[in-house]
Structure 1
């Protein structure tokens, strides 16, 4: 049995879209009741290591079968013995820690050396600027007063959130239960699959908001007057007003320990710690132009910024010192992001439309990618406004002259989001693009 066939068979047994799965659920009440653990073990034994990890996350019963059979441990031991980059010390570490490390190594390998293509589709009726990606889902919006939630795998629209009766959307964020949007001086909450609620207007306490980040139970709004307003999602009230800058707050990042980081139009990054209830530090790069984008990696305690002059910079919060500062774009860096548990790679997008992969610790550009406009084909997947196009991608040599590449192949990247072996980009156009990277070594 081929691996792809085994994966498809396993998915069908999970109760996919087939009519047989629906009939079995109606007959037994549970889609897994009619297949025993021994049969599942036989199917799972045909999968490679990472597909088996994915199957273990499908449901509790699959997880139990996989762990009891020790299939993951067997494949992991085989991989450590076969791969010289792993040591026998790794075999003594907790399996979850090793799995995460292996996943991040594969993610890095895919971004730098793997094959890559772009799926693009029309997702909105006017220019879309913002995107977020979490849990295999993509949220897009800003432009036509509609936010749409997409599947990162199928590119299909799953949910839609309308702002027809509200001011234009400025920023948004989401998690597994809610979508939170900033519309100038108001915050809105959409329950996933539910109704919308709007924070009450509080005259004089909420100047124009320019950016927002959300981490349950709070949303932080960066304002034009240099403050950050923190709102409680449940009481719908402003719990804190923090003076962060003397200039407009242009970007925000939140840490799980309630750390708030903000960038300003004057080129500084301010850290606020809730325990001391005051600014912890102010970080400044030698490039004093405005901070356009900000990314915080909690796993490595590193902070990354992109400036209006095309510079990327990094600070280590454990030492409160600058690690590097490099010009990575001829002009504005609009977006800079990484996976929260990835300690090695960073993805940068800017005005020249090139997707660049950087080393987090040195700032070295490891790979640069642009679409190949000459090669495209329509897939069978249908999006909201038409078919999904698949385009090939060119990895650029270090000495490539960007100006020689047609602008149609590299529209400015206004926002990007990073997932496992995926990068989503928006370009202030109707198109949404998802860059899919595939490691050369899949097993």
Structure 2
């Protein structure tokens, strides 16, 4: 190659190499020393969307090259040649969302896993929630604590007012909503003190809650559900869901309230009309519904019960799709990633983390920590976080033969992208991280 000021055979100037901070000199080149054309050529040879996305996240220069060259879109059309020039309604964004969900479900079903564990509370934590890369834990002491789902780093804590005991909570990017037996408490994410407490006259003996701005729904011991407006600070409506205590709640995008009971039924109420639409029942009563979740994409309602059954109903027909006994004991939590229509995570008193198929209810895999291999520190900078190996067990295995220390009861779980956080009624928190099988 001629000097940078001379002309090549094509008559165009040979561009100078661009050097970034830390670029090597002499014959030892680094990625920062490569010009845009070379990087564009390298990136265009990548045949995996996730590899391309990872490169895009390295730095602003790489992101700009990938974006301006439309490499993501080119790869999309390469994988889907029939879409180019057609009237397909599937956008590139939707396609990548489907890819992400496929990798998530594949990682849960077949990928290797590790568990990261650390002491998170002075006494114990029995509930956990995970959203947008953050984890919120609490109940058992007088504080809620916020953590990074990726690094497990402590981010903030929130004090429960007036020495009240929380029974349920949830959060979003701006606020935290908590329930005591007789009050709603709201915190801003960036402030440790509660900014609002509801009066105690509206409801008594609240057992569970779920919210969608601007309303929070409280399930009570007397079988009623109270709808509370968080901004006007008043109760807007009351629904009689059951003749027994409401044990768990879920809300749908079209303003339906789904409530489980100690008698094994699930009631559906419509907030817009004020009508009770129907009751879902199990063929295996008597049992108590302990957990509910709703999949918007498939209109399926999932439940876990006191007899170890996982249940699924179609919200459109109000008919059961499957009921399988996946555990010999109580199921405390059934959760899935929003948008995922393939897998459901289940945990309960026997301490086994189960991944089951949403469509059939069949158990895909069962996981516990592995005692045959020692735990290690997650990193030198985080010696307080233990990394524990995870072992797969057969779905038909005798759970009682597995030492109890390897399978502490799972009191709550929540699902993120290729992650599951669990609490165990102890002072520690555990995050299970899954990877694609090929990595």
Do the two structures share a fold, i.e. TM-score over 0.5?
yes
- 2:70 paired residue number: 70
What value does the CA root-mean-square deviation take over the aligned residues?
2.8
1:272 equivalent among 255, 269, 273: 269
CA contact (8 A) 1:156 1:382 kept: no
2:105 equivalent among 99, 103, 108: 108
Choose 411-420 or 234-243, whichever is displaced more: 234-243
Larger radius of gyration: 2
Structure 2: how far apart are the matches of 1:55 and 1:243? 54
Structure 1: how far apart are the matches of 2:56 and 2:113? 26
Structure 2: how far apart are the matches of 1:397 and 1:415? 22
CA contact (8 A) 2:159 2:194 kept: no
What is the CA distance between 1:110 and its match in structure 2? Answer: 0.5
CA contact (8 A) 1:218 1:232 kept: yes
Closer/same/farther in 2, CA of residues 118 and 179 from structure 1, 3 Å limit: same
Q: Output one character per residue of 1:396-429: Cα deviation in whole Å (capped at 9) or x when no partner.
A: 1243221211111100111000111111110001
The alignment partner of 1:374 has SS state of coil
What is the CA distance between 1:200 and its match in structure 2? Answer: 3.5
Choose 190-199 or 317-326, whichever is displaced more: 190-199
Structure 1: how far apart are the matches of 2:36 and 2:170? 40
- 1:123 paired residue number: 120
Q: Output one character per residue of 1:109-159: Cα deviation in whole Å (capped at 9) or x when no partner.
A: 111110111001110011100000000110000011110110011000111
1:147 partnered with 2:144: yes
2:325 equivalent among 324, 327, 332: 327
1:427 equivalent among 419, 424, 428: 424
2:185 equivalent among 184, 188, 198: 188
- 1:98 paired residue number: 95
1:253 partnered with 2:250: yes
1:439 partnered with 2:439: no
Structure 1: how far apart are the matches of 2:368 and 2:410? 11
The alignment partner of 2:371 has SS state of strand
Consecutive unaligned residues in structure 2, runs of 5 or more? 1-19, 22-34
Structure 2: how far apart are the matches of 1:163 and 1:104? 36
Q: Output one character per residue of 1:210-261: Cα deviation in whole Å (capped at 9) or x when no partner.
A: 0111222111111111111111121111111111111110000011221110
CA contact (8 A) 1:303 1:314 kept: yes
Q: How does 1:112-261 map to 2 (within 5 A)?
A: 112-163=109-160, 165-194=162-191, 195-203=193-201, 205-261=202-258
Number of residue-to-residue matches in the alignment? 401
Closer/same/farther in 2, CA of residues 262 and 40 from structure 1, 3 Å limit: farther
Q: Which has the higher helix share?
A: 1
What is the CA distance between 1:74 and its match in structure 2? Answer: 2.9
The alignment partner of 1:412 has SS state of coil
Q: How does 1:320-359 map to 2 (within 5 A)?
A: 320-359=318-357
CA contact (8 A) 1:381 1:387 kept: no
- 1:373 paired residue number: 371
CA contact (8 A) 2:185 2:198 kept: no
- 2:31 paired residue number: none
1:360 partnered with 2:358: yes
1:399 equivalent among 392, 396, 399: 396
What is the CA distance between 1:88 and its match in structure 2? Answer: 4.4
Closer/same/farther in 2, CA of residues 243 and 131 from structure 1, 3 Å limit: same
The alignment partner of 2:304 has SS state of strand
CA contact (8 A) 2:269 2:276 kept: yes
